[in-house]
Amino acid sequence: MMIDRQARKLLFETVAQRVIASADELTDLDRAIGDGDHGANMRRGFEAVLAAVDELSAKILASPLRRWTTLV
């Protein structure tokens, strides 16, 4: 099954926005077991995804996902 460019863009945007919206909760959870920076780091990574969403959505899904793991 092929996912078209618009659907890929919506997928990336939706996931990124949800993670960004959850940054404070992720930080609180991390604070209980770590140094409390996970939410900020995830926000920064997914803001980079949003900044590159047009480029990412232009590629087949496997390629942006490999790149995404280096951004996040």
Number of domains making up the chain: 1
Structure tokens at 50: 């949003």
**Comparison of pLDDT for 70 and 39, the residue scoring more:** 39
Q: Which domain holds residue 28?
A: 5-71
Helix intervals (H) in the chain: 5-21, 23-33, 38-51, 53-57, 62-71
Averaged pLDDT of the chain = 88
Query: What integer pLDDT is reported at residue 52 of this predicted model?
Result: 95
Span 33-47, average pLDDT: 94
pTM for the predicted model, two decimal places: 0.79
Which pLDDT band holds residue 59 (cuts at 50, 70, 90)?
confident
